[in-house]
């Protein structure tokens, strides 16, 4: 039964935000463009729950868009951040914590022989592409339709989505930058091979999400990532895995551990720091040494390796290295996903604790399948679920997640709410 939720305060604040901030949000993901209406204004989070300014409580299946492996306000992470803040918020100089954090990342990701901390996943991606161009002395980058890599100019201005938006200039991108990006199809090695043949000696790297997080949760077909890596190396290009979403999420060593593959360069995001502003990129030492001061690529940032984010990263990674964490996530994920499938009436796909719910097609295997998703049905489903205290990402195409601090009771309550909504909508 739907809760008697009120959103008066949220609606008022959101309307006022819209007068000052484009769309009322500081990142378009937060807007309710796909589902309609206005978003609840979140006041705080604790464990597996978030609370809005109207006093409504939600089981959080968004988890900060993925990185909150240990839920909201984990005491170990909060204490680490407090201690770091008391010592100073910014030095613009190296700290001992950077060594510990970098060593822990390298332990989880052996392919990252050398790495550098940055402030976001998008910054990590942009920097990794520069490394690839410098190493290979080639201009072009291969991306895959429907994969999301942040607001990186050469990537988000090319492909079908960019064409639908009117091309590079309406997106504020350089047409020259867009023209140097070539677009292949996810789970389709032939499309990648054709591009290597069409642009011989010109492609610096192929970058891909090993598991898609913005066109449904799509796993790579068996042999797809391995085949792409072989194609890259056969054509003198680097193989880059964007693990901003999968990093520390689908396994301690991310998709590389889960699918037993290594990358030439890897991009990580805020999951490594418990949700604080942070990212990292790295790979073979000979490649990363192209970055200044050991090489010609001038990538810099006063906040890179910020002591507060680094402290959060150390605390987060210490939690992640604990025995049984990922086994726990797998058990909870199986409970949720199997329960959703048993309810029926919807499409559910997952890789570990990343999952998505959609309506329409029987499966989503690539970007063309993603376009078949029924957005109107999802919008109704989303709002009915929100009114029952379950918070999903406000987009059928984006990955939802659970954390290691969700409980079986949380999962069962969410399943009861979904079952009630599906029944009310007459979908099963």
**Integer Cα distance of 96 and 325 in angstroms:** 27
> For residue 175, what are its two tokens?
């047409």
C-alpha dist (Å) from residue 61 to 27, 49, 177: 19, 9, 36
Residues 6+ apart with CB under 8 A from 326: 251, 252, 352
Active site residues: 148, 242, 270
Are residues 75 and 285 in contact, defined by beta-carbon separation less than 8 angstroms?
no
Instruction: List phi, psi (to 5°) of 143.
Output: -120, 175
Strand partners, 114: 283
**Integer Cα distance of 71 and 244 in angstroms:** 17
> For residue 383, what are its two tokens?
């709002």
- Where on the phi/psi map is residue 418: left (φ > 0), alpha (ψ -120 to 50), or beta? alpha
Backbone CA torsion sign across 151, 302, 312, 47: negative
Any idea what the Cα angle at residue 275 is, between residues 149 and 390, rounded to 5°? Answer: 90
| Helices (H), ranges, 47-165 | 75-87, 96-108, 121-136, 153-156, 160-164
β 354-358/347-351 pair status: antiparallel
């Amino acid at each position: 039964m739907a809760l008697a939720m009120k959103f008066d305060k949220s609606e008022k604040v959101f309307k006022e935000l819209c007068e000052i901030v484009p769309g009322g949000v500081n990142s378009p993901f937060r807007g309710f463009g796909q589902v309609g209406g206005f978003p609840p204004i979140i006041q705080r989070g604790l464990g597996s729950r978030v609370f809005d300014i109207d006093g409504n409580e939600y089981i959080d299946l968004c988890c900060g868009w993925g990185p909150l492996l240990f839920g909201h306000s984990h005491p170990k992470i909060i204490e680490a951040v407090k201690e770091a803040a008391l010592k100073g918020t910014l030095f613009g100089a190296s700290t001992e914590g950077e060594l510990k954090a970098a060593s822990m990342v390298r332990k989880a990701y052996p392919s990252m022989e050398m790495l550098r901390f940055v402030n976001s996943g998008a910054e990590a991606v942009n920097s990794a592409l520069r490394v690839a161009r410098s190493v290979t002395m080639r201009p072009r980058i291969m991306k895959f339709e429907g994969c999301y890599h942040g607001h990186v100019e050469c990537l988000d201005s090319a492909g079908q989505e960019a064409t639908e938006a009117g091309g590079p200039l309406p997106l504020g991108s350089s047409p020259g930058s867009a023209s140097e990006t070539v677009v292949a199809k996810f789970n389709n090695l032939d499309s990648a091979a054709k591009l290597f043949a069409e642009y011989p000696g010109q492609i610096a790297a192929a970058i891909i999400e090993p598991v898609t997080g913005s066109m449904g949760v799509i796993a790579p077909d068996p042999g797809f990532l391995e085949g792409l890596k072989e194609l890259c190396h056969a054509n003198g290009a680097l193989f880059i895995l964007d693990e901003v979403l999968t990093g520390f999420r689908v396994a301690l060593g991310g998709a590389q551990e889960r699918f037993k593959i290594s990358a030439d360069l890897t991009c990580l995001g805020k999951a490594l720091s418990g949700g604080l502003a942070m990212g990292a990129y790295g790979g073979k030492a000979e490649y990363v040494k192209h970055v200044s001061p050991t090489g010609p690529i001038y990538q810099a940032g006063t906040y890179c390796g910020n002591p507060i984010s680094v402290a959060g990263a150390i605390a987060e990674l210490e939690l992640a290295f604990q025995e049984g964490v990922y086994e726990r996530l797998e058990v909870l994920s199986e409970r949720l996903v199997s329960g959703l499938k048993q309810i029926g009436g919807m499409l559910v796909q997952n890789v570990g604790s990343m999952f998505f719910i959609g309506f329409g097609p029987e499966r989503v295997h690539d970007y063309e399948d993603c376009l078949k998703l029924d957005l109107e049905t999802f919008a109704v489903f989303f709002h009915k679920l929100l009114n029952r205290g379950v918070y999903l990402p406000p987009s059928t195409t984006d990955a939802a997640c659970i954390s290691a601090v969700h409980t079986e009771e949380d999962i069962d309550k969410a399943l009861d709410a979904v079952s009630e909504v599906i029944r009310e909508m007459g979908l099963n």
